Amino acid sequence: DQQVKQNSPSLSVQEGRISILNCDYTNSMFDYFLWYKKYPAEGPTFLISISSIKDKNEDGRFTVFLNKSAKHLSLHIVPSQPGDSAVYFCAPQINYGGSQGNLIFGKGTKLSVKP
């Protein structure tokens, strides 16, 4: 039962261009959506998040867009840099009265940014 899907296992873009990573979910109860980045041989690190009451959150080169009606979100990286090459995970979460529920992850999208 996959509640969160990242349908593109990999993505390759040219340095300086936009990278768009997509995530679809099925559970309308999700209240938060977090994005994590993972380099080889390291644990995932938090990148950016968005609350379900918003449709956009921006942090520097990273912007996440949320379309609740379509149960879809996307992470935009502009401009892409070679150091952005990593696996990106979408991780939704439910808010249980201020306490967090479990944090599940999509299967990830491997981004390669070519110089």
Question: Which positions lie near another protein, rule CB under 8 A?
Answer: 31-32, 34, 41-46, 49, 51, 89, 93-96, 98-108
Q: Which is nearer to another protein, 7 or 14 (CB)?
A: 7
The 8-class DSSP code of residue 83 comes to: G
Kindly give the pairing relationship between strand 56-59 and strand 45-51. Answer: unpaired
Q: Which is nearer to another protein, 29 or 78 (CB)?
A: 29
Closest separation between CB of residue 10 and another protein, Å? 13
DSSP result, 89-110: EEEEE-EETTEE--------EE
Q: Which is nearer to another protein, 3 or 14 (CB)?
A: 3
Query: What's the CA gap between 35 and 25, in Å, rounded?
Result: 14
Q: Which is nearer to another protein, 79 or 101 (CB)?
A: 101
Closest separation between CB of residue 62 and another protein, Å? 14
Closest separation between CB of residue 51 and another protein, Å? 6
Closest separation between CB of residue 110 and another protein, Å? 11
Please give the order of strands across the beta sheet that includes 72-77.
Answer: 4-5, 19-25, 72-77, 62-67, 56-59
The single-letter code of the amino acid at 113 is V
